[in-house]
Amino acid sequence: MRQVRVLLDSTSPTRQLVAVSATIPPRTETFMRALMHDPISVAVGDMGAPVTNVVQTVVWAAEAVLAVAQRQQLRNLLANQRASTILTFAAAGKEASALLPAIPP
């Protein structure tokens, strides 16, 4: 954990730090919280208990796919009644912003 501190000490004090994990051991969570300012936790279900009612599906949109096709695919996913939450990853903020018009209000 010393290496993590050395690395973070060499970055800007205004950095954003994100720790994402399905499971975080208590010692690691304590360490990460000490490095963050006002950390926010998101949990699905009870902490420490397995979640049985979450279905994860990966939909890969190749970079070669036109942005129009990606937006249509996102609209189709959002129209599905079972898809109440969708997490989308993009290589750049500009690409994520281009998907915003596909999200219904």
pLDDT of residue 104: 67
Claim to verify: residue 39 and residue 84 sit in the same structural domain:
no
Residue 58 lies in a domain: no
Burial of 32 (0-12, 13-18, 19+ CB in 10 A): middle
pLDDT over threshold 80, residue 98: no
- Taking the whole predicted model, whether its pTM rises above 0.85 is answered as no
Claim to verify: residue 46 and residue 76 sit in the same structural domain:
no
Which domain covers residue 32, as residue numbers?
Answer: 1-50
**Nearest partner of 65 among 97, 99, 105, 93, judged by Cα:** 99
Please tell me which residue, 6 or 63, carries the higher pLDDT value.
Answer: 6
